[in-house]
Amino acid sequence: MRVLGVDPGLTRCGVGVVEGVAGRPLTMLGVGVVRTPADADTGPRLVGIERGIEEWLDRYEPELVAVERVFSQHNVRTVMGTAQASAVAMLCAARRGLPVALHTPSEVKAAVTGSGRADKAQVGAMVTRLLRLSAPPKPADAADALALAICHIWRAPAQNRLQQAVAQNRLQQAIALHASKGRPS
Amino acid sequence: MRVLGVDPGLTRCGVGVVEGVAGRPLTMLGVGVVRTPADADTGPRLVGIERGIEEWLDRYEPELVAVERVFSQHNVRTVMGTAQASAVAMLCAARRGLPVALHTPSEVKAAVTGSGRADKAQVGAMVTRLLRLSAPPKPADAADALALAICHIWRAPAQNRLQQAVAQNRLQQAIALHASKGRPS
């Protein structure tokens, strides 16, 4: 499974591609940052993000895009930029028919470090170890994008099992409903 | 001046095109709503919004797109959807090289009703009157999109004067700085 992780942001949008399956060593295919000038208008900045994400999708052809889920509990201005950049990433993926998965920052931290409250340095150290890199990817946004991709690959089997269980349950309910309707009242 | 107003939202994204200049009667060229199913994933919904906005841009060829400025003071979930839909509208405009103007809800209300705290009904009534329509556009999102376009057309002369004054001031400062540097110390 090949996943593009996106740590959304208008000034620095982290991007990282990881390939592998849960339980086996993972491989980093690429990592970087899409940047737009902080003094530009939002419209052109979003065009810059779109162009950058498209280049990464063209180059690495991931099967899925994992994007950080944005919460509005932080600083208002930052949240808006993050929400806008993540919308562009989701749009680019969906336009190609690629599935989009959202993971919260604490899910990502917990997946790669074991603690949902790990700091940037810890996440960077674990990403370096898990992908067998010689040094932590910089800036932190790039490392976070890789962590998102790793998180998705590791959580995917559990999520698939959950989805299968839900689908199975719905099917059984539908069968039961159909059977009860079929009975004469 | 022809303006496309966009009242962003994932479920209902209001769109309205108004033509005219400040101080003259305005004309509505079109009004509507771009809808996406509430139970669909965000990625495909953003693709739906993009397709809708593109159709409006193709059909009416506005010179400018006025979008409601999103604040995060409201409900978290709503704000995220609004921020994402507005990002797509801004992206579509900027990709065509169209300027994007942001106006706050209270600026829009104040422009069309005289009060920044007017309710939906008041805004609808004034939009109906100002555009000489036979009935208020429905849903409210459609009326709000028209109000945004009207607000922009009416505020544009003042904004242009302000921008000119700022530019003039900067130029004079640059000249003064240049003159002072030219002098022997």
**Predicted pLDDT at B76:** 66
Q: Which domains does chain B have, with CATH numbers?
A: 2-182 (3.30.420.10)
Residue A69 contacts B, CB cutoff 8 Å: no
> Are residues A4 and A151 in contact, defined by beta-carbon separation less than 8 angstroms?
no
The residue of chain B nearest to residue A70, with distances taken between CA atoms, is B80
CB-count burial class (<10 Å; 0-12, 13-18, 19+) for B104: middle
Parallel/antiparallel/unpaired status of strands A12-19 and A27-35: antiparallel
pLDDT digits (tens, 9 = 90+) for B34-64: 999 999 999 999 999 999 999 999 999 999 9
ipTM of the complex: 0.79
Q: What pLDDT does B80 receive?
A: 87
Contacts of A88 in chain B (CB under 8 A): 87-88, 91
Cβ distance of A41 and B80 shorter than 8 Å = no
Per-residue pLDDT tens digits for B60-103: 999 999 999 987 666 666 788 899 999 999 999 999 999 999 99
Q: What is the pLDDT of residues A29-80, one digit of tens each?
A: 999 999 999 999 999 999 999 999 999 999 999 999 999 998 766 666 678 8
Please say if the pLDDT value at position B134 is more than 70. Answer: yes
Active site residues of B: 7, 68, 141
Predicted pLDDT at A72: 61
Which residues does B81 contact at the CB level (< 8 Å), separation at least 6? B9, B10, B11, B42
* Residues in chain A, pLDDT under 50: 183-185
Please tell me the predicted confidence (pLDDT) of residue B185. 42
Report pLDDT digits (tens) over B99-133.
Answer: 999 999 999 999 999 999 999 999 999 999 999 99
CB proximity A42 to B under 8 Å: yes
How far is B81 from B94, CA to CA, in rounded Å? 20
Q: Which residues of A touch B46 (CB under 8 A)?
A: 87, 90-91, 94
Provide the chain B residues 81-100 that lie in CB contact (below 8 A) with chain A.
83-88, 90-91, 93-95, 99-100
Q: Tell me whether residues B72 and A71 touch, CB distance under 8 A.
A: no
pLDDT at residue B114, as a whole number: 93
Spatial contact of A96 and A35, defined as CB atoms under 8 Å apart? no
pLDDT of residue A185: 41
Strand, coil or helix: what is B12?
strand
Residue B23: pLDDT band (50, 70, 90) is confident
Q: How far apart are CA A56 and CA A34, in angstroms?
A: 10
Minimum CA–CA partner of B75 in chain A? A72
Was A144 annotated as part of a binding site? no
- Is A61 flagged in the annotation as binding? no
Please state, in angstroms and rounded to a whole number, the distance separating the CA atoms of residues B76 and B141.
19
> Tokens representing B152?
């922009």
Give the residue numbers of A marked as catalytic: 7, 68, 141
Q: pLDDT at position A76, please?
A: 66
Closest CA to B20 of B161, B157, B165: B157
What does the pLDDT read at residue B15? 98
Number of A–B residue contacts, CB under 8 Å: 80
